[in-house]
Structure formats: structure tokens, C-alpha cells
């Protein structure tokens, strides 16, 4: 399910070249959507003053998340090792239920479709979906 072949990796890296310039914006939009469309995810951000789309904390955190995803692209050949610290953070400190990784991934895909409609072909979609699932799996490694 999360095995990334050579072709998948090439597709992800090539597509990411087009994404990286808009990464912060995409991250902010994806996070905003997640909080609106899946209100249960707001429970992780009770400490923020403002959870509305485009608010300061949402913008900042969206950028942080996408920087992490971009970093994962560069470590695509060994996500488990590359994301070790992030996995420990999510497992022991943040304790985000891993089901939410899927939810955020879906919203990233929606934003990619909106921002790059002609580049986000079905072939690119499947490679990115597999990649985000592999990232989620690497992030869940340390949970138990």
C-alpha cells in the first residue's frame, strides 16, 4: 500500500518542483480547509486564539507542515530514518491520532487540484497519494 517505486519517486520529485514555490500558500489553504471541513481536528489547536482560514497561527503552521513535507521529498529514499525526529515528536509530544494524517493528506490533494489543475493528473495524484501515505506511515513508526 505504501511501497514507492522508482517511477513514483520520480513523479513526486518532478511535481514537487512545481509545488515548492507555492508551498506555504498550499499548506495554509490545506490546513484551513481541514479545520473547516473536519471540525474534530480543531481539538488539537485549542491553544490557538484564531482558527479561521488564513489566520496568523493557521498560516504559520501550514507553512511549517509543508516545509516538513518538502523535507520528506528530499528524504524519499528512506522516510523512516529521515523522519525519525518528527515521528518521535508526533508520538510522544503531539500525540496526534494517525487517522488525522489521512485527513490532512486529503486536503493537501484538494488544494493541489485547485492550484495546479492541469498538472495534478490522475497519474500524479496516485504517486502523491502514495507518497503522503508513506510519510504518514513513517510519522506513525514511533507510536507503539
Partner 1 sequence: MVEWTEQERTIITTIFSNLDYEDVGPKALARCLIVYPWTQRYFASFGNLYNAEAIKTNPNIAAHGTKVLHGLDRAVKNLDNIKATYAELSVLHSEKLHVDPDNFKLLADCLTIVIAAKLGSAFTPETQAAFQKFLAVVVSALGRQYH
Instruction: Tell me whether residue 56 is exposed, middle or buried, using C-beta atoms within 10 angstroms of its C-beta: 0 to 12, 13 to 18, 19 or more.
Output: exposed
Task: Note whether 128 and 15 are within 8 A (CB).
Answer: yes
**Residue 57 in contact with partner 1, rule: CB under 8 A:** no
81 lies in the site for partner 1, by CB under 8 A: no
- Site size toward partner 1 (CB under 8 A) is 17
Burial class (CB in 10 A: 0-12, 13-18, 19+), 82: middle
Q: How far is the CB of 93 from partner 1 (least distance, A)?
A: 28
Nearer to partner 1, 36 or 91 (CB): 36
CB of 32 to partner 1, least distance (A): 6
* Binding of residue 106 to partner 1 (CB under 8 A): yes
Nearer to partner 1, 90 or 130 (CB): 130
What is the dihedral angle through the alpha carbons of 94, 43, 26, 61, rounded to the nearest 10 degrees? Answer: -50
CA 100 to chain centroid = 10
Q: Cell 508551498 identifies what position?
A: 23
By CB under 8 A, name the one of 101, 120, 135, 138 that touches partner 1: 120
- A 10 A CB-CB count for 16 gives 18
In angstroms, give the least distance from the CB of 22 to partner 1. Answer: 13
Closest to partner 1 by CB, 32 vs 87, is 32
Q: Please, what's the largest Cα pairwise distance for the chain? A: 44
Q: Contact residues for partner 1 (CB under 8 A)?
A: 32-33, 36-37, 53, 106, 109-110, 113-114, 117, 120, 122-123, 125-126, 129
Amino acid at each position: 500500500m505504501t511501497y514507492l517505486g522508482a517511477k513514483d519517486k520520480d513523479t513526486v520529485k518532478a511535481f514537487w518542483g512545481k509545488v515548492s514555490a507555492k508551498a506555504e500558500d498550499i499548506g495554509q489553504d490545506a490546513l484551513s480547509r481541514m479545520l473547516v471541513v473536519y471540525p474534530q481536528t480543531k481539538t488539537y489547536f485549542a491553544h490557538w486564539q484564531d482558527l479561521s482560514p488564513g489566520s496568523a497561527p493557521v498560516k504559520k503552521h501550514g507553512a511549517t507542515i509543508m516545509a516538513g513535507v518538502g523535507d520528506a521529498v528530499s528524504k524519499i529514499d528512506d522516510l523512516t530514518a529521515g523522519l525519525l525526529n518528527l515521528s518521535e515528536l508526533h508520538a510522544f509530544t503531539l500525540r496526534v491520532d494517525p487517522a488525522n494524517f489521512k485527513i490532512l493528506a486529503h486536503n493537501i490533494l484538494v488544494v493541489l487540484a485547485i492550484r495546479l489543475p492541469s498538472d495534478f493528473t490522475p497519474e500524479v495524484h496516485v504517486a502523491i497519494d502514495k507518497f503522503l501515505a508513506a510519510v504518514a506511515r513513517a510519522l506513525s513508526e514511533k507510536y507503539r
